[in-house]
Amino acid sequence: DGGITQSPKYLFRKEGQNVTLSCEQNLNHDAMYWYRQDPGQGLRLIYYSQIVNDFQKGDIAEGYSVSREKKESFPLTVTSAQKNPTAFYLCASSTSEFDTQYFGPGTRLTVL
Amino acid sequence: EDQVTQSPEALRLQEGESSSLNCSYTVSGLRGLFWYRQDPGKGPEFLFTLYSAGEEKEKERLKATLTKKESFLHITAPKPEDSATYLCAVLPEGAGTYKYIFGTGTRLKVLA
């Protein structure tokens, strides 16, 4: 079954900790994305990658970092510099940056 | 500024009571408009992509239409399982334009 997986489903972070959210896809898509979803707001783009070993900042990249070492994987690290990280994080992928994006199931991050 | 507005914010329908959700957009040019369904605590599920004014697409009880300024998601004879948040996103035209612009969604509740 082709699709996008995200892990963990729930994640708790203490103040000052860095945490990494996993995103894997087996759709053979070139482009991958990370979004943040907060209540009452539209999805906001954190980072995106059009191709392996290349990625660009989105609208709210401060306090986050990513890597794209493999086509299938696009992990997101939420650093201690992100002051308000509690949110629902969504990973997406598409054949190219101009095509339909398909989403994973999401990771809910809570700061304790 | 590119913008997407969805209305209403919330909608309650009786089972079988047809209605429409609206997505109005302001962009200099439209590369594509996308509809998604999102259940609580889950990632958005892709429904439709529309590319040009006059285009229509259907899937079961859902029909999406597109004009030069807005899109409608028509729900015919809805059932309780259609209850979800429906998200609209647009991909503007333009060199280097890669970002979806998401609306805040319409929360639909269908009562049995």
Q: In chain A, how many H helices and how many E strands?
A: 0, 11
Contact B98/A40, CB-based, under 8 Å?
Answer: no
Average pLDDT for chain B? 94
pLDDT band per the 50, 70, 90 thresholds, residue B63: very high
The partner residue sitting opposite A41, judged by closest CB among B45, B49, B104, is B104
The band of B95, judged by pLDDT with boundaries at 50, 70 and 90, is low
Contact B43 A43 (CB under 8 A): no
Query: Is A106 close to B36, i.e. CB distance below 8 A?
Result: no
* Predicted local confidence at residue A106, as pLDDT: 97
pLDDT over 60 at B90, yes or no: yes
Instruction: Give how far the C-alpha of residue A5 lies from the chain's centroid of Cα atoms, to the nearest Å.
Output: 11
User: How much is the mean pLDDT over chain A?
Assistant: 93
Note whether A43 contacts B102, CB cutoff 8 Å: yes
pLDDT reported for residue B96: 59
Is 60 exceeded by the pLDDT of residue B97?
Answer: no
How much is the pLDDT for B40?
95
Name every chain B residue with its beta carbon within 8 A of the beta carbon of A42: 4, 87, 101-105
pLDDT digits (tens, 9 = 90+) for B13-59: 999 999 999 999 998 889 999 999 999 999 999 999 999 999 999 99
- Do the Cβ atoms of B78 and B16 come closer than 8 Å? yes
Q: Give the pLDDT confidence score for residue B39 in this predicted structure.
A: 97
Interface probe for A, chosen from B24, B39, B100 (most Cβ of A below 10 Å), is B100
